[in-house]
Structure formats: structure tokens, C-alpha cells
Chains A and B, each alone.
Chain A
Amino acid sequence: EEQLVESGGGLVQPGGSLRLSCAASGFTFSRYWMHWVRQAPGKGLVWVARINSDGSAINYADSVKGRFTGSRDTAKNTLYLQMNSLRAEDTAVYYCVGTGKVSYWGQGTLVTVSP
């Protein structure tokens, strides 16, 4: 069964850091580009970052550029999002999402940035 499972969310103070993980199973993770997407409470979906199949090309939304870093470990079938200099407006549920015929969604992990 194809699955994406996010982890690493939690409560962090403004200016702090978190690293999110997304463990993939049931499909050939190394073949597909992956996205990070977030959703603030009661709001719509917002694209955060895209990582190509081997992690060599990454695009970021302007709102996170310079603060967030995406990466992937194909040996571990895991996608990462390192989030630094966190702000209150980064508070959201973060999802990893596959692309194309593996455009599965994880269940999300909640990041709360608050004093």
C-alpha cells in the first residue's frame, strides 16, 4: 500500500527551528518529484517547496525562501524540510505530496509557532 507519513511537527518559539520528515512506502520514491504543502488553520492550501527526484533541484515559495531547506534521502525513502527562523505565520499543517500517478498525500503534521 502506498503511503506517506509526516512527522516532526510541534510547538516552537518564533525564531526557532524544526525538521519535518516524510517517510514514503509502497512506491518507488526515488523516481518522483515531491512537494511540501501547508495549510494554516481554516485557510487554503499553500505550496511550500518542490524537490526533484534526486534532490538536485529544489524550488521554494517566496515566503520561505532562505529559511526553509528541502532535501531527500532515497536510501531511506524519506523527504525532509528543515525550517529555520520560524515565524507565527508559518503555523500550519504541513503535508508532503507526491506527483503524477503517485500524487498521494500524507496525513500532515502540525507546526505551531508561538511564544
Chain B
Amino acid sequence: QAVVTQEPSLTVSPGGTVTLTCGSSTGAVTSGHYPYWFQQKPGQAPRTLIYDTNNKHSWTPARFSGSLLGGKAALTLSGAQPEDEADYYCFLSYDGPRVFGGGTKLTVL
């Protein structure tokens, strides 16, 4: 089974920009992996921020964007807010199984 890798933790200053990445042990991540990004705050259910690489939901703040970058899926947060402090998970589709990354704990400090 493929392994999906994320940075375990990142820190961003309020108002700053940070990019979270999502890599695959099988090689480059492409649009064919249909990357998703989920946000989870303590004690809450996750919610989907990005689906199919770069599509946003109506509730996704405009400061979040998804892309492919250097063979990985990427989630960029531009203009971080204190409320963005959370765990972020990426999710990739393979031929059959789906795999989550281990999550990135984002601190806004």
C-alpha cells in the first residue's frame, strides 16, 4: 500500500503564508490522485477544504488554495489567521484504495 507523507508540524506567523505538502511513495502526485485537503480542529469532525486538487467548497476561506507543486499536492494558506490553527490531512486516490497522510499540525504563532 502506498504511503502518503506530510510535514508533521509547521508554524506560521499571523498574516503570513505557509505551504503544506503531500507526497506519495509511488512517485509524483498528479491530478489523477484527486488530492483532497481536510481541516480538523480539536474536538471537531474534519471538514473538506479542497477536493480534486484545487476545488473549494462554499465554506472554504479564500486564503486557502490547492495545487500541484514539485511532484506533490500542496495546500497554501496566504494570510494566516489564528483560527487556522488546526490539523490538516491530505488524501490521495490510488487504483482501488485511498490513503490519508499522517497530518500536519499547523500552529499560528
Interface residues in chain B, defined as those with a beta carbon under 8 Å from any beta carbon in chain A? 1, 36, 38, 40, 45-48, 51-52, 55, 57, 87, 89, 91, 96-103
What are 16 pairs between A and B in contact, CB < 8 Å? A35-B98, A44-B100, A44-B101, A44-B103, A45-B38, A45-B103, A59-B98, A60-B97, A95-B45, A95-B46, A100-B52, A101-B55, A103-B48, A105-B45, A105-B48, A107-B45
* Min C-beta distance of A60 to chain B, whole Å: 8
Of all chain A residues, the one with the shortest Cβ separation from B36 is: A103
Tell me if A50 and B38 are in contact (CB < 8 A).
no
| Bound Cα distance A104, B101 (Å) | 19
Other A-B contacts than A35-B98, A45-B46, A95-B45, 16 sampled, CB-CB below 8 A, are A44-B87, A44-B102, A45-B89, A45-B91, A47-B98, A47-B99, A47-B100, A59-B97, A61-B97, A100-B52, A101-B55, A104-B48, A105-B38, A105-B45, A105-B46, A106-B45
Q: What chain B residues lie within 8 Å of A101 (beta carbons)?
A: 51, 55, 57
* Residue picked from B38, B97, B101, most chain A C-beta under 10 Å: B97
Q: What chain A residues lie within 8 Å of B91 (beta carbons)?
A: 45, 47
Q: What chain B residues lie within 8 Å of A44 (beta carbons)?
A: 87, 89, 100-103
Interface size grouping (class) on chain A:
20 to 34
Of all chain A residues, the one with the shortest Cβ separation from B51 is: A103
Tell me if A108 and B45 are in contact (CB < 8 A).
yes
Q: What chain A residues lie within 8 Å of B87 (beta carbons)?
A: 44
Residue from the list B1, B45, B48, B52 in contact with A62, Cβ < 8 A: B1
Residue interface mask A18-53, B partner, CB < 8 A = 1: 000000000000000001010000001111001000
| Bound Cα distance A56, B55 (Å) | 27
Of all chain A residues, the one with the shortest Cβ separation from B47 is: A105
* Residue picked from B36, B98, B103, most chain A C-beta under 10 Å: B98
Tell me if B96 and A59 are in contact (CB < 8 A).
yes
* Min C-beta distance of A69 to chain B, whole Å: 16
